[in-house]
Structures are given as C-alpha cells and as structure tokens.
Structure 1
Amino acid sequence: MPTLLAAVPAAPPLPSPTAATAIAWAAWLTLMGFPGLVAFALVTADPAARRVDEGTRHAVTTRLSRCAVLLAVLAVPAVLADLAQDATTGSRYSAAWHSLYDGTGAGLLAGLEITLVLLGAVLVAPLAVRAAPHRWRRGLLVAGLVAGAAALATTKLPAEATDDLARTCWKTAVWLVHLWFGASWLGGLAGLLVLAVPGVIAPGDRGAFWSAAIRRFSAVAMTGVGAIALSGLFLYWSHVDGPSQLLSTLYGRTLGVKIVLFGALLLLGIANQFWLHPRIEAARAAGDTRPLRTLLLRRFPAVVAVELVLILAILLVAPMLHGSAREQAVQSAAGSTTVHLPDKQAGPLTWVLGSAETLAVLAVLIAGYRVSGRIARRRAEAARRTARPAAGRGARDRPVVSGGTRRSRGSG
C-alpha cells in the first residue's frame, strides 16, 4: 500500500552552545563592523586626509571601503547561519532562507536585515574599486552608512505590535543607541589598524594625517563612551535588581564579565587620551619624525589592537545574555522556569536619578576632552620651544658652500 504522507525530514542536531555563540558573534561582528568602518571613513579618516592631499584621501577611502564591503558580504552567510539555529525541521539553512519575507514580522525584519546590508555593500563598492568620481565620495559613504545602520537596527525592532507603544519605542531607541555607538567604536578601532599598515599613507604625510585623525576619533570615541554608558545604565536598571544579582544569577555573572571588559577598554582609552595622544602631538610639533613614526607604528597600533580585542570579547559575551537577572532570581527562588516578571515601571525618582547620571556623564566627558586637549597643546608648545634653539644651533654649525669650496661659517 503506498504511503499517503511523505516523510518529514528530521532536523539536523542543534549546534553546541560554543558553536551557537560563535555564529551569533560572527553575525554581530559583521553587521556592526560594516557601518562602523563606513562611519569612521566619513567622519574621521576622510576629513583628516583632506588636510593632506587628494592622493592620500583617495588611498584612505579605498582601503576602508574594501574592508567595509568585505564585512557586508560576509554578513549575509553569518546572518543566515544565525537564523538557521532557530529552524526546527528540514534543512536549517533552507528554512532560514525561506523565512525571509515569509509574511511574518520576523521574516520581514530578517529579509530587510540582509537586503539592507547588501545594499550598503553595493553603494560603497564603487569606492572600493575606484570607479566613482571624487565628487560622489561623501554621498556614497553617507548612503552606505544609512543602509548599514538600518540593517543593524532591524535586529532590535519589534516584530509584532505591543500594547505599550511608548515603552517599546523607548527601549528600542536605547538599544539602537547602544548598538550604533558600539559599531562606531568598533569600526573606528578597526579602521585605525587598517590605515596603520605601511603602504596606505606616504611617510611624509603620516604626521599631518595621524594628528588630525587621532584627534577626531578621540571626540567620536568619547561620544560613544557616553552613549554606551548611559544606554547600558538603563539596560542594567531594566534587567538587574541590585548588585547582589551580579553574583547570584547566570545573567548577572555574564553581565559582570561584560562590565569588566568594558572597564578595561575604558582604561585603555583614558591612557590613549591623556598620555599617548599628547605625546604624538608633541612629536609632530617638534618636527621629529623618528619618534612620531615609532609611536604610530609600534605603541599606538599595539594599544588600538588590544582595545579592538576587548571589543570583540564584549561582542562574544553579549549573545550569552538571555532573559534578565530579575527573572532568574525569582525563578531560582520559586524553583520554576515558568515564572515571568512584568517590566519595571519608572517612577519620579528613577527619572531624577537618570537625569543626574546623564548630566554627570556628559560633564565628565566634556571635561576630559578639554583637559586632554589642553595637555596636548602644552606638550606641543613645549616641544616647539625646545626645537627652535636646536634648529638655530644646527644652522650656525652647518657648513657653508661658497665658490664651490666647503668651509665653516666664521672661518675667514
């Protein structure tokens, strides 16, 4: 008797937790890296290269665009692999592909995620292959950045309508600030390392370019630190009821690791801002290319590489955060995983404390940027004063050629 029902193919086994974390990490890395690199090219590298010459500007944009396009292309299989982890029947990758634009809210967002990141790659590609006129450079970068930022935004947009629209919009906005500024920090550090590779910028142009680029990136990075810290404080308030839950719950311990990594990253950024950057400014002001080259090609890229590794570690830890410490604490006490808590409600005191935290963070960032700039200017001025007498002595001692015969000044 023929079989009336076709056999449903069994789903392959789910990936191990380690593999699942690696897949999620790859998806976040590529989705955040693409707009981050484009933003770095648009806001930091291109304006700094404009102060040098058109050749440097062209070389810088081309190198960053190639790296950005590569990340955008890699984002497609990474996102599909991440979606495939949720499939329950048949071929997981086939199911992930067919879930795009399948008529559901989640399918629409997943489809837009891949479509937008590919659109961003198409927009930036002419700059990567040097096929776009110079006058299109900034327009293509802006369009690519908008597409990449929109693709990243789809990861946190709600797939279904909710009853509390105002709260949903607020939480979504906080998440987007957290992701967008995190992407700008990640892309900026990666872009600095990419441009520090010998051969991108001519040796004679490095001083002028790096002095401007580092200063501009410092402003972007400090803005990102403030945005990430403030959005992180809100997310901490939403998911954790007090510091004790950082140790008593899995969510809290994982979040604690992320906080420690962020703190280490912040300390390195402070060291850059108040120690390394002023030294680079002073070396350039003194006209001493040897120390400047040593700082840029040894110390500065090494510190930036460590910062980049810390950000990658944060992206590795972040996908492990599921649920909230609040729920896990209640579930542990009740001995059941089915207990769910309603979202926290913000009262007047919460808004007062939140406003105070915001003002405090802004004050610290503005003061830090101004103080570091003052330190850099003082070091540069001191280096100029030291360089002038040395230059004068060198001119007096330099041999003079007269009538084809070399003689010392004052020899008669």
Structure 2
Amino acid sequence: MPLPSQLPGHLLLSAPSPAAPSTPLGPFEDSAVAWTTWVTLMGFVGVTALAVIAVGPVARRIGPGALAVTTARLARVAVALGALAVPAILTDLAHSASPDGGYDYGAAWNTLYDGSNSGRLAGLEVTLVAVGAVLLAPLAARRTAAGAARPWLSAAALAAGAVALGTTKFPDAVPDDWGRTTFETVMWMLHLIGGAVWLGGVAGLAALALPGGTADADRGAFWSPVIRRFSAAAMSCVAAITLSGLFLYWEHVDGLSQLVSTMYGRVLGVKILIFGTLLLLGAFNQFWLHPRVEALRAAGDERPLRTLLVREFPVLVGAEAVLGMAVVFVAPFLHGSARNQAFQADAVKHVGASLDALPKLPAKDVSTATWVWGTGETLLVLAVMIAGYWASGVLARRQSAAKASTSRSVRSAAPAPSGSRSGS
C-alpha cells in the first residue's frame, strides 16, 4: 500500500519495518470514571424527558392519583442520578487534574469558573445538573408531584440537564472554521441528547415497571399510550443517533477495513454491535409488544396475555437498559481516530524506526459529494423511521380491531342469565 501523500518527505527512509505503534485502550479506571459520569448525566436527562414527553401527559388524563404516583417515582430516580452526577463529574475532573494519575479534588474544584473557557464549561456542567436535581426534588413527594408547578419544574430541569450534557462537547476555544465546528457540535448534540432520551427513557420505563410504579387499576389505560408516545420519541432519537453516528464514522474512519485493523475501529465495531442489538429489541417492542398491549385494551380483559406482558415487559426494558449502559461504557475507550491510527502505523512501517511525535492526518475536506451523500442518508433514515412507526401503528389497530370483534362475539354468544326473561 503506498504511503499517503500527507507523510513528510524526510520520513521516507528504507529500513526494516518495526512493530506498529501501540494504540492501547487506556486504563480501565479512566473509562470506569468516565462511564459513571456519562450514565448519571445522560440518565438524568433521559428520565426527566420521559416524564415530560410521555408519562406526564398520559398520567394527567388518567387522574391525579396516577400522575402523583408516576411523577414521584421518576422524580426520585432523576434526583438520585443528578445528585450522583455532581461527584462523578468532579471525580472525572480530579482524575484529569492529577499529574500522577490520582485524584486531586482541590485542583478540580479550582478549575470551575477559573476564567478559562474550559473552566466555565466545567462549572456550568456541575452547576446545571445540580440545579436540575434541586428543581425536581419537590416532585419526589407524592403530595406535591401532581401540583400546578409540575410541568414548569420538569421542563426547567430538563433544559438544565440538556445544557449540562451539551457543555461536554461545546468548543472551549474560538474555532478557526466556524461552519465546520458548529456542524460538528450539532452532530454531537444529536448523538448525546438522542442517546440520553432513548436510553434514559428506557431506564425510566424499567423503574415504572417495578412494583408500585403504577396502580394496578391504571395499568391498562397507562402503558399503551405511554409506550406509543415513547416509541415516537425513541424512533426520533434513533434517527438522530444514526445520522450523527454516520457523520462521526465518516470523520474518523476511512473504509470498513479500518474497523478490524485499528483499535479505534474494533472498539467502534463493538459499539455498533451493541447498538444493533438495541435496535432489534426496539423493533421487537414496536412490532410485537405495543400491538398486543393495544389489543389487550381493546379486548377488555385477556388475563393470560396480560400476565405474559407483565412478565416480559420488565425483562425487555431491563435488557435494553443494560445494553444501553454497555454502549456508554464502550464509548470512553474510543481514543483518537481509526484514520490516524492506520496512518501512523503505516508511517512507522515506512520510516523503519519509532517516532517521537507521530504524524496526524488533517481533517477530511467536505466536498459536494459529501453533502449529496449526507442528504441522501438523512432522507433515507427519516423515511425508514416514519414508515416503521406508521406500520407498527397499522398493526396495532388491526390487532385491536380483531380482539374487540372477538370479545363482542363471545359476549353476544354467551347464554343469558337464568333470571332474565326473553321478549314475547
């Protein structure tokens, strides 16, 4: 394979090929600390979004009791995640600030609002997630969970959490190319917030599926519209994650071969496999679980099916939540880019000696073809998501109609009570 033209001319030397430069995954401890930060911060945003988008509107229509029970359950989960996010973020900063790989919490605290852009962003991240948790704290009590302030507190907490999550990828310096930096930041926001709403929402559903999450009498009227609302939000998140993921793939990977030839590519491949499994579970829920919930409601009472759904639903959402946390765990192992790792390995092979400073490729140039392919991918992903949501709705309505018709037939064919009289 010829050496890429970006390699400096003085590196083209004839010598035996040494081993390729190491691209380690990094210390497990670093990734565990980063994972805790991401899980708590994204979980706070996702659980709060579930309350605002799906659970709150449905429970409010059922009644104040249902609204109080479900809001309090989700608020407690979100407050706990927000409270844990603050020390998790500080621990991540303390680990980065320590020169010997330890934890310097004093240095981490001093970086908050230290006058630099990175300090302001870190300060906002800690402050806003704490503010979000404080805003939701009154809703954790059932006696206040259904009050008039509920929608305002939930919306404000969600906005605070989303901005706190966004600060992790906001640029901390004035960019040379405003257009590209803005586009990259938007892609990261789609990736992070989409993942937070989807995966955190699944965790919130799992919390509601546990005993006491909803009243027994409200389950029939609660779960079907909640699942339908969350499905619409989740499919929008999947579209956002897919589109932003395609851009990040284009930016960091040159060809499918780098998925197996570089450490970055192999880690990304694991992440893609887990994400694909999540998509399969989501499709199973969309095309199997939801239509049967709708049919159950239409039939009035199908005890065997009700028992089956009650048993399987927590298992399914629990599996999705675990896989979602696995995706977040894998992500911190993505260091650098597959393009640079492959380029550096090739550079060392041609130079014949280890390099003190490994060369790096410049960022990819955006051409007209890039915009054409990107637009086509966007339209295709949106079309698939809209078609899937429509098809699952049609399936649900058909099964509901069939169940309702069967129930009416059974009731009409049932013998009249012994005490009734027939007409003359």
TM-score (norm 2): 0.88
Counterpart CA distance in 1 for 2:123 and 2:331 is 23
- Deviation string 1:41-80 (CA, Å, 9 cap, x unpaired) is 0000011112211110111111101110110000011111
Hey, what does 1:329 align to over in structure 2?
342
Check the 8 A contact 1:241/1:326 in 2, yes or no: yes
Hey, what does 1:310 align to over in structure 2?
323
Counterpart CA distance in 2 for 1:386 and 1:132 is 40
Question: CA distance change for structure 1 residues 300 and 291 in 2, over 3 Å: closer, same or farther?
Answer: same
Q: Please list, as runs of the form range in 1=range in 2, the aligned pairs for 1:3-42 lying within 5 A after superposition.
A: 17-42=27-52
Q: Which of 37, 43, 47 is residue 57 of structure 2 equivalent to?
A: 47
Hey, what does 2:386 align to over in structure 1?
366
Give 3-state SS (helix, strand or coil) of 1:51's partner.
helix
Range moving further from structure 2, 278-287 or 26-35: 278-287
Hey, what does 2:352 align to over in structure 1?
none
Check the 8 A contact 1:39/1:184 in 2, yes or no: yes
Give the deviation of 1:234 after TM superposition: 0.3
Counterpart CA distance in 1 for 2:298 and 2:260 is 50
Q: Which of 68, 71, 87 is residue 78 of structure 2 equivalent to?
A: 68
Q: Which of 139, 161, 167 is residue 154 of structure 1 equivalent to?
A: 167
- Quick check: 1:392 aligned with 2:404? no
Give the deviation of 1:192 after TM superposition: 0.8
Amino acid in structure 1 at the alignment position of 2:161 = G
Hey, what does 2:134 align to over in structure 1?
122
Counterpart CA distance in 2 for 1:144 and 1:265 is 27
Check the 8 A contact 1:196/1:296 in 2, yes or no: no
Q: Please list, as runs of the form range in 1=range in 2, the aligned pairs for 1:71-220 lying within 5 A after superposition.
A: 71-89=81-99, 92-129=104-141, 130-131=143-144, 134-220=147-233
Hey, what does 1:383 align to over in structure 2?
403
Counterpart CA distance in 1 for 2:399 and 2:328 is 36
Check the 8 A contact 1:51/1:208 in 2, yes or no: no
Give the deviation of 1:292 after TM superposition: 4.8
Counterpart CA distance in 1 for 2:268 and 2:343 is 18
Counterpart CA distance in 1 for 2:79 and 2:309 is 26
Counterpart CA distance in 2 for 1:170 and 1:297 is 43
Give the percent of matched residue pairs that are identical in Structure 1 and Structure 2. 56
Check the 8 A contact 2:136/2:154 in 1, yes or no: yes
TM-score (norm 1): 0.91
Check the 8 A contact 1:124/1:144 in 2, yes or no: yes
Q: Please list, as runs of the form range in 1=range in 2, the aligned pairs for 1:280-359 lying within 5 A after superposition.
A: 280-335=293-348, 336=355, 338-359=358-379
Counterpart CA distance in 2 for 1:133 and 1:265 is 33
Q: Please list, as runs of the form range in 1=range in 2, the aligned pairs for 1:268-283 lying within 5 A after superposition.
A: 268-283=281-296
Counterpart CA distance in 2 for 1:289 and 1:117 is 44
Range moving further from structure 2, 102-111 or 318-327: 102-111
Amino acid in structure 2 at the alignment position of 1:306 = A
Counterpart CA distance in 2 for 1:190 and 1:215 is 16
Range moving further from structure 2, 275-284 or 36-45: 275-284
Considering only aligned residues, what root-mean-square deviation do their CA atoms show, in Å? 1.7
Q: Please list, as runs of the form range in 1=range in 2, the aligned pairs for 1:200-279 lying within 5 A after superposition.
A: 200-279=213-292
Counterpart CA distance in 2 for 1:269 and 1:88 is 41
Hey, what does 1:3 align to over in structure 2?
none
Amino acid in structure 1 at the alignment position of 2:135 = L
Counterpart CA distance in 2 for 1:377 and 1:295 is 20
Check the 8 A contact 2:187/2:244 in 1, yes or no: yes
Counterpart CA distance in 1 for 2:205 and 2:35 is 22
Check the 8 A contact 2:67/2:146 in 1, yes or no: no
Check the 8 A contact 1:207/1:292 in 2, yes or no: no
- Deviation string 1:326-355 (CA, Å, 9 cap, x unpaired) is 000111111245211111111001110110
Check the 8 A contact 1:34/1:187 in 2, yes or no: yes
Give the deviation of 1:289 after TM superposition: 4.6
- Deviation string 1:277-323 (CA, Å, 9 cap, x unpaired) is 11111111111252453244211111111111111000000001011
Unpaired runs of 5+ in structure 1?
Answer: 1-15, 401-407
- Deviation string 1:224-271 (CA, Å, 9 cap, x unpaired) is 111100000000000000101001100000000000111111011111
Counterpart CA distance in 2 for 1:17 and 1:149 is 29
Unpaired runs of 5+ in structure 2?
Answer: 1-25, 349-354
Check the 8 A contact 1:280/1:295 in 2, yes or no: no
Give 3-state SS (helix, strand or coil) of 1:116's partner.
helix
Amino acid in structure 1 at the alignment position of 2:406 = T
Q: Please list, as runs of the form range in 1=range in 2, the aligned pairs for 1:393-412 lying within 5 A after superposition.
A: 393-394=413-414, 396-400=415-419
Higher relative contact order (CA 8 A, sep 6+): 2
Counterpart CA distance in 1 for 2:42 and 2:305 is 31
Check the 8 A contact 2:68/2:144 in 1, yes or no: no
